[in-house]
Amino acid sequence: MTFHAGNYISGKCLSRRTALRTAGAVLGIPLLDAMVPAGPAAAHSWTRQTVQRLQYVYMPMGCDHSRWTPTGSDLTDLPYILEPLKPVQDQINVLTNLELAKAYPGSHATSNSAFLSCSTAKHTESTDYFLGTTADQIAAKHIGRDTKLPSMELSMDLTQMAGQCDNGYACAYQNNLSWSSPTTPLPSEAHPRIVFEALFGQGGTAIERAQSRKQQSSLLDSMADEIAKLKQQVGAADKRILDQYLQSIRGVERRLDKSESDQNNGEGRDLERPLGVPASYEEHAKLLIDLQVLALQADLTRVITFQLARETSKRSYPEVGVPESHHPLSHHGNNPKKIERLAKINRFHVSLFAYLLTQLATTEERNQPLLNSTACMLGSGMGNPNVHDHTNLPTIVAGGTGAGFTGGKHIEYPKHTPLANIHLTLLQSMGLNLESFADSTGPSAELTVSRKP
């Protein structure tokens, strides 16, 4: 097959499922012009079927509303916590007055479990837990059917808590954002190397994978011939997309290797941290975010959840001047100094969401940013952590018109508007024919924009 930057001599095109393969590894390929059918009618029909992507990012233990909430209906002046979002402020919407009524009586366990389910968690300390299918998994059954991974569940916490964790609720409610059924929580992965291998297919045992890495310094090096052959089949624009994608993969590989090397050399040694997990929280989070972007770009998955920290997390953030643990700070008792430090943690978490959006906005897909076809939601299941309420939840929805969204707005809903309305809106934007979700009262017309047919 011969291709020339969109003018295909043979009239054929590369399959959207084109992948490069070697023993033990499969490298998915991002969307290229060479994958679009020839001819105006076919190309138009294909463009209308461009996939949608959905991401949820969870921020635990609410926020300091005084430094979170915009003062007007637009985002001209972002408040302190939201300032990191300034580079992408035209593509975000800040939503206020949303509620999780099914999360009461207020607890950390129900904050986490209700965030994507909007369901009441069965009060149990045992394994007979019962919740509801979460929004991400409803989406995955619809838009994730044709991808290598129907969904990805990621978190920053390397260990799972066991037993009962909070007010008599089983730890499953705090450990897991995603539930594929009311009785099936989906565990999340926090180890970047394991995520990398899940995406790019280096199977086998941990020992076999380690031996393979010693024999071959890079996944890309092992596929050099296949990459060269692919580049001969595509035009200049596609080569540029491929180069950017491959450079991103190589950058992730190098960071993984450096983290492993540092630990092997005794730098930043931590017996509780597995080999290859960065010592820096920020570096760890950005590695996982970069892997998420690669997974979306190569259409390896279309649905992702990412938990920035677990509810009741005792993690401290000295990198932003907060040596105290997060959970105790969230019970600030209206102490101004504690509230200020809580706001610093909130701002740090928002900065990571801003990093995700920026990566999506600067990753190209057929002359459009990847963010244009992605809907991203940042939120918490708790409003004011000092009193464990589930009203006025800090919520941001970002995305482009390709995913059905406008941006640059502060949307103030009537008080006690169900968060389920936003989930319903996101699910409908992914093409699901749903009239309701959990306790929703209807989709949000303020959030969406009609897409051109």
Which value, to the nearest 10 degrees, does the dihedral of the CA atoms of residues 16, 22, 27, 32 take? -40
Per-residue pLDDT 10s for the chain (453 aa) are: 222 233 333 345 777 777 887 766 788 888 888 887 655 544 444 444 455 899 999 999 999 999 999 998 999 899 999 999 999 999 999 999 999 999 998 789 999 999 999 999 999 988 899 999 999 999 999 999 889 999 999 999 987 766 557 778 998 999 999 999 999 999 999 999 999 999 987 554 555 455 555 545 678 888 888 889 898 888 888 899 999 999 999 999 889 888 877 665 555 555 455 666 888 999 999 999 999 999 999 999 999 999 999 999 999 999 999 999 999 999 999 999 999 999 999 999 999 999 999 999 999 887 789 999 999 999 999 999 999 999 999 999 998 777 778 899 999 999 999 999 999 999 999 999 999 999 999 999 888 754 443
pLDDT at 224: 86
CB 405 within 8 A of CB 93: yes
Segment holding 57, helix H or strand E:
strand 53-58
pLDDT at 270: 52
**Strand 184-186 to 178-181 pairing:** antiparallel
Cα 54 from Cα 114, distance rounded (Å): 18
HSE, CB side, 13 Å, CA atoms: give it for residue 51: 23
Strand partners, 317: 322
Cα 393 from Cα 63, distance rounded (Å): 8
CB 361 within 8 A of CB 371: yes
Which residue in 339, 362, 352, 255 sits closest to 307, CA to CA? 352
Helices marked H in 76-218 — which ranges? 108-117, 135-143, 172-175, 192-200, 206-215
Q: For 435, phi and psi rounded to 5 degrees? A: -95, -20
Q: Name every residue whose Cβ is closer than 8 Å to that of residue 124 and which is 6 or more positions away in sequence.
A: 130, 168, 169, 170
HSE, CB side, 13 Å, CA atoms: give it for residue 263: 17
Tell me the domains of the chain and their CATH numbers.
1-49+194-276 (no CATH), 53-190+281-290+299-453 (3.40.720.10)
| Strand, coil or helix: 184 | strand
| Strand, coil or helix: 320 | helix
CB 386 within 8 A of CB 331: yes
Q: Counting beta carbons within 10 angstroms of the beta carbon of residue 421, is it exposed (0 to 12), middle (13 to 18) or buried (19 or more)?
A: buried
Q: Name every residue whose Cβ is closer than 8 Å to that of residue 26 and which is 6 or more positions away in sequence.
A: 19, 20, 200, 201
Amino acid identity of residue 357, one-letter, is L
Strand partners, 27: 20
Place of tokens 């007010």: 167
Cα 130 from Cα 183, distance rounded (Å): 5
Cα 312 from Cα 185, distance rounded (Å): 19
Q: Counting beta carbons within 10 angstroms of the beta carbon of residue 429, is it exposed (0 to 12), middle (13 to 18) or buried (19 or more)?
A: buried
Cα 188 from Cα 175, distance rounded (Å): 8
Cα 144 from Cα 186, distance rounded (Å): 15
CB 447 within 8 A of CB 425: yes
CB 375 within 8 A of CB 399: yes
Cα 364 from Cα 361, distance rounded (Å): 8
294: left (phi over 0), alpha (psi -120 to 50) or beta: alpha
Specify the pTM.
Answer: 0.90
Max distance between CA atoms of the chain, in angstroms, equals 71
Amino acid identity of residue 281, one-letter, is Y
